[in-house]
Structure 1
């Protein structure tokens, strides 16, 4: 029995190692050739495996892409939540800074993953119903909305922005944020989207290399943007 268990254990480890390598190679191919370079045949060629052997791990290219997105998105959700939760809820400015710093750090450490989630669509990819990573997407969305909710009491007394109704937002987004924050009004949701656009915008420019030749200190630019956000919110 012990020998059988050891054999099964080795097989499971080898399978896990090969699966991990397939995912690493897929992201490397994307880095060098764009999202359309992710094919099972190309991965098999890089790993010196047969195409049929690859199909034993992922039945289709779309299955692989879905797995990649789900794992990457979950990693991002874990990172921003952990950073936010390391700061007391009584310090909304600190929580915004921590979330923003963790988001940028994750994106730079996982640039191909960032592009796969937020940037380059994989040609022909058909996501499963509900999306490739619905739980992780929900976590990232609600964690960012929570930052806006925490800042809102400081901003509300002198808020001069536009008025919003729930009809101004997509039903899927409304369901997510109202499920997490039942007493939420529409205006903090708009605030969360504005926070997202500013943080995502600079990070995206940096990941795609569009800040090269314009600044040698993208980190300083980002920190200043986050500081300005905090000042604007009055927290």
Structure 2
């Protein structure tokens, strides 16, 4: 029974922290990242400014916590899609991960904009930390897709642009070398191209740039993902649009 009070205190603190983030996301959705204010959130929750600062010392710390959660949720969706498809069907894994990326973004547009839109004015992200770790999880899923197809994809990339490890940021290159020691710089570049093809159409759709020209953006995205499977060295599956 001696542990009951600390555990209850920890639980209440976690619940309050979660509520702060929920309200911050609501303000983000209504008025953009500029609207995130610890004092405004405190007023809505009936807290004093001093009390809320015991949870987050400043706005940047709260935004970092939100970004960490958002990257984590996106990585969770991509990892689940990858793991839910048997390893014997790598082409289907590409489609599953691509569709998971799009579905998550469309279901969470403000969260997508928070991590991939314009920088929050005045926000200074920390070096490294949990947010970078969660972002790296999503990158790892893409590298796993490339790894599965690389022996075939490599042949298709002969004669293309030559990549070196110095082309990449040191932390990214180090992570690839640590987790995928057999992959060359060209494979790391292909993982970035894979991300850009998933991300590009999703961003155009989410920001409303496809609607004037296109009634079915999902079909165009599916076509892009099927072509991506070929780029990664797989035979695209037969699908119904």
TM-score, with length taken from structure 1: 0.89
Structure 1 unmatched runs, 5+:
none
Structure 2 unmatched runs, 5+:
235-241
Residues matched between the structures, number: 233
The secondary structure found in structure 2 opposite 1:133 is helix
Deviation (angstroms), 1:84: 0.5
CA distance in structure 1 between the partners assigned to 2:73 and 2:166 by the alignment: 32
Q: Which residue of 2 is the match for residue 22 of structure 1?
A: 20
Q: Which residue of 2 is the match for residue 71 of structure 1?
A: 69
CA distance in structure 2 between the partners assigned to 1:106 and 1:158 by the alignment: 31
RMSD: 2.1
Q: Is the 8 A contact 1:69 1:132 kept in 2?
A: no
Q: For each residue in 1:97-149, what CA deviation from the matched residue of structure 2 results, as whole angstroms up to 9, or x when unmatched?
A: 11111111111222221111122312221222215512212211121111112
- My pick for the range that moved more, 49-58 or 91-100, is 49-58
CA distance in structure 1 between the partners assigned to 2:129 and 2:6 by the alignment: 34
Q: For each residue in 1:58-83, what CA deviation from the matched residue of structure 2 results, as whole angstroms up to 9, or x when unmatched?
A: 12111111111111111211111111
Q: Which residue of 2 is the match for residue 37 of structure 1?
A: 35
Q: Is the 8 A contact 2:205 2:217 kept in 1?
A: yes
Deviation (angstroms), 1:10: 5.6
CA distance in structure 2 between the partners assigned to 1:166 and 1:13 by the alignment: 45
CA distance in structure 1 between the partners assigned to 2:219 and 2:154 by the alignment: 29
1:224 paired with 2:223, answer yes
Q: Which residue of 2 is the match for residue 89 of structure 1?
A: 87
TM-score, with length taken from structure 2: 0.87
Q: Is the 8 A contact 2:146 2:232 kept in 1?
A: no
